[in-house]
Chains A and B, each alone.
Chain A
Amino acid sequence: MAAPVRLAYTHVHSFRLASGESSGAEALAARVRLEDGTLGYGFTPNDDAGVARDMAAWDALGRSKGVALPALLGGSHRERIPVEKDDNPAIAPDWPALRKDLLAGRHDLLRIDPFAWGSLEQVVTIAASAAAFDLGVALLAPNAHPWEIQYCAALAATFRGDDTRIVLRISPERNEFEVKGEPGIGIDWSLEPAFGKIQWQG
């Protein structure tokens, strides 16, 4: 389920975050340009640029059509996502091991770091599996960065299970996060000064 777009150009750039718990940490940002000229942006706090590119492609599709990510995926099951502090470890991105654990009934709640697991498709498949096995899903925003939380919220809105939440490693300022309706992923890219200084190519 890659974003159904025709990319004219993709550029990935590293920069340093200034917000969230990871202030000073390096992140990757991606910008894609569609054949129709629409731009989309993505990021990851990790070193897998594929996550940022995948996010950017979905962002571009949403912007080009004037709709938010959930509308592209089918819609939202909820307008607000519960947010809470949770210190339990996220499930390691090992799909065969997770499948085995699901069959063995070893989880009630799947704590998933979407940036560690990879593409949107992978996260959506995990959420569908959680729904089939009647399990909750907690999307981890690993650094409590507002961009991470917004991406988690856009995905969590589309998950079917009624126990769907966002978890942080710190106490959240509020206990729920409103799903934004802006076109694309809905991230406010102006939050990070360094992002605005990236010299994008293409």
Chain B
Amino acid sequence: MARLGIAALRLTRVSIPLTMVHAGSMYVIQKAERTVVELTLENGVTGLGDCWGTPDAYALLQRFGREMLGKDALNRLALREVLGKSTYDNRHGRNGRAAYAGLDLAAWDAVARSLGLPLADLIGARQRESVEVVCTLPAAIVPRAVTRDELTEHLDVLSNTRLVVEFAQEQVRKLGFRNFKLKSAAYSPAWDWKLLNELKEAMPQARIRFDPNANYGPATATALCRRLDGLGLEFFEDPTGEMEGLARLREAVRTPVATNMWVVKDEQLAPAIRRRAVDVVLGDLFMWGGIDALRRMAKVAHAFGLKPALHSVYETGIATAANLHLAAALPEVEYPNDASLHFMSADVLAEPQPVIGGRMRVPQGAGLGVTLDRDKLAALAIETAEVRAA
């Protein structure tokens, strides 16, 4: 097998309604837009990828994809170099990395399928058959995609916290979750304090991570996290912004501090290690820009005493499966995976990927071990592009 040339690429931008409104400090959303990547090799094998579905990312996927046609997928590392670092990094910000990651994932899947290896085995070596996953809890339970003003009015009524607690308890009953991520609107420390205490009281055994997405300022975040320190939360995820802010907050609390926002590329890892800015690097496949970058992060973070973990947000079953394979392949990943597929009202895959007992099974078979369902894809599609050589 001298080479596995990339023969064709097909991109489909999809819109998938969520089963409920998800509110946090960055968004109040009721749908997720993604791009599904189908990368076909000259041997006829097709690999699947998944990526952000924003118009910017979709446009970059087409452009980067054109550059990759004809290239050897066995040499996945060189695909990244085809684009040039400034192209996928500085020039287009995180969109460039996300677009590259979507194509990279499809290439890894296509190669793994061609070699008859599960993706986990191509990444490292499959260490486990199922992975514990985390249930995201919206900052508030609201009936529709409200405005920020409407959301803050809701948060001003502190008794509304019980809706989130009831929702979490329902997830325990229905899917057996033991791990939760509470999104915060970063509007009201009083709300967050009350809600987290109620969650711990209602579910004393649950592991809970708290994620204001860096929207609290350093002083407010530090004061709040100090108060929360005795609750025994799993970690504070981006309680405030920038590496220096995280480092200073970390010095003030005992609870581990995590980030998926400020350590998101190779160049930020060594400064974070040296500054002792965080305890946990929540690596997101699409922010880190592909499997090799995420794998290297896990190895280096672990080697220097940080804990790597896997972040995700409102993805299709393709990226969900990729994260399960990554967790299975990387023994350095000890924390449960973020997961949100159970909040998607539909998926593009033929196989359901249920959460049972708070865990998801790593798909079996070659590559990602999943099958694209064309009818489901068509039903969710906004637009489709066949990528052809320029």
Query: CB-defined interface of B111-141 with A at 8 Å, one 1/0 digit per residue?
Result: 1000111001110111000000000000000
A contact residues around B2 at 8 Å (CB) = 181
A2 to B287 CA separation, bound complex (whole angstroms): 27
Interface assignment of A125: CB less than 8 Å from any CB of chain B: yes
Residue of A whose beta carbon sits closest to that of B296: A128
Stretch at the interface among A23-31, A71-79, A191-199: A71-79
A154 to B125 CA separation, bound complex (whole angstroms): 19
Stretch at the interface among A131-139, A143-151, A164-172: A131-139
Interface assignment of A93: CB less than 8 Å from any CB of chain B: no
Asked if residues B296 and A4 are in contact (CB atoms below 8 Å), the reply is no
A contact residues around B79 at 8 Å (CB) = 75
A95 to B303 CA separation, bound complex (whole angstroms): 9
Partner of A75, one of B78, B116, B117, B266: B78
Partner of B74, one of A71, A129, A131, A160: A71
A67 to B114 CA separation, bound complex (whole angstroms): 11
Interface assignment of B300: CB less than 8 Å from any CB of chain A: yes
Interface assignment of A37: CB less than 8 Å from any CB of chain B: no
B contact residues around A74 at 8 Å (CB) = 76-77, 291-292, 295
Of A75, A125, A131, most B-chain CB atoms within 10 Å = A75
Question: What is the distance, in angstroms, from A117's C-beta to the closest C-beta of chain B?
Answer: 13
Interface assignment of A20: CB less than 8 Å from any CB of chain B: no
Q: A72-B122, A125-B299 are in contact. Are A67 and B76 (CB under 8 A)?
A: no
A contact residues around B115 at 8 Å (CB) = 65, 67
Question: What is the distance, in angstroms, from A4's C-beta to the closest C-beta of chain B?
Answer: 4
The interface residues of chain A, by DSSP majority, are classed as loop
B contact residues around A70 at 8 Å (CB) = 75
Asked if residues A158 and B77 are in contact (CB atoms below 8 Å), the reply is yes
Residue of B whose beta carbon sits closest to that of A76: B75
Interface assignment of B1: CB less than 8 Å from any CB of chain A: yes
Interface assignment of B81: CB less than 8 Å from any CB of chain A: yes
Asked if residues A4 and B77 are in contact (CB atoms below 8 Å), the reply is no
Asked if residues B125 and A2 are in contact (CB atoms below 8 Å), the reply is yes
Interface assignment of A1: CB less than 8 Å from any CB of chain B: yes
B contact residues around A160 at 8 Å (CB) = 77, 266, 296
Partner of A4, one of B76, B111, B121, B274: B121
Question: What is the distance, in angstroms, from A200's C-beta to the closest C-beta of chain B?
Answer: 25
Residue of A whose beta carbon sits closest to that of B78: A75
Asked if residues A65 and B117 are in contact (CB atoms below 8 Å), the reply is yes
Interface assignment of A99: CB less than 8 Å from any CB of chain B: yes
A183 to B1 CA separation, bound complex (whole angstroms): 8
Of A3, A124, A133, A134, most B-chain CB atoms within 10 Å = A133
A contact residues around B18 at 8 Å (CB) = none
Interface assignment of B270: CB less than 8 Å from any CB of chain A: yes
Asked if residues A65 and B124 are in contact (CB atoms below 8 Å), the reply is no
Q: A4-B126, A74-B292, A103-B273 are in contact. Are A129 and B300 (CB under 8 A)?
A: yes
B contact residues around A75 at 8 Å (CB) = 72, 74-79
Query: CB-defined interface of B49-87 with A at 8 Å, one 1/0 digit per residue?
Result: 000000000000000000000001011111101000000
In the complex, chain A residues 84-107 whose Cβ is within 8 Å of any chain B Cβ:
95, 99, 103
Asked if residues A132 and B75 are in contact (CB atoms below 8 Å), the reply is no
B contact residues around A95 at 8 Å (CB) = 303
Question: What is the distance, in angstroms, from B116's C-beta to the closest C-beta of chain A?
Answer: 7
A contact residues around B1 at 8 Å (CB) = 65-67, 183
Question: What is the distance, in angstroms, from A201's C-beta to the closest C-beta of chain B?
Answer: 26
Asked if residues B124 and A134 are in contact (CB atoms below 8 Å), the reply is no
Partner of B124, one of A1, A129, A158, A183: A1
Residue of B whose beta carbon sits closest to that of A129: B300
In the complex, chain B residues 251-301 whose Cβ is within 8 Å of any chain A Cβ:
266, 269-270, 273-274, 291-292, 295-296, 299-300
Question: What is the distance, in angstroms, from A35's C-beta to the closest C-beta of chain B?
Answer: 13
Partner of B125, one of A3, A77, A125, A181: A3
Asked if residues A99 and B296 are in contact (CB atoms below 8 Å), the reply is no
In the complex, chain B residues 1-48 whose Cβ is within 8 Å of any chain A Cβ:
1-2
Q: A4-B121, A4-B126, A67-B1 are in contact. Are A132 and B296 (CB under 8 A)?
A: yes
B contact residues around A103 at 8 Å (CB) = 273-274, 304
Asked if residues A132 and B126 are in contact (CB atoms below 8 Å), the reply is no
Asked if residues A132 and B300 are in contact (CB atoms below 8 Å), the reply is yes
Question: What is the distance, in angstroms, from B84's C-beta to the closest C-beta of chain A?
Answer: 13
Q: List the 5 shortest-distance A-B pairs measured between CB atoms, nearest first.
A: A4-B121, A75-B75, A75-B77, A66-B1, A4-B125
18 example contacts (A-B, Cβ-Cβ < 8 A) are as follows A1-B124, A1-B125, A4-B124, A66-B1, A67-B115, A71-B111, A74-B295, A75-B76, A76-B77, A77-B77, A95-B303, A128-B300, A129-B299, A129-B303, A132-B269, A132-B296, A133-B270, A158-B77
Q: Which residues of B pack against A, CB within 8 Å?
A: 1-2, 72, 74-79, 81, 111, 115-117, 120-122, 124-126, 266, 269-270, 273-274, 291-292, 295-296, 299-300, 303-304
Known: A3-B125, A129-B300. 17 other contacts (CB 8 A): A2-B125, A4-B117, A71-B75, A71-B111, A74-B77, A75-B72, A76-B77, A77-B77, A77-B81, A103-B304, A128-B296, A128-B299, A131-B296, A132-B269, A132-B300, A133-B270, A160-B266
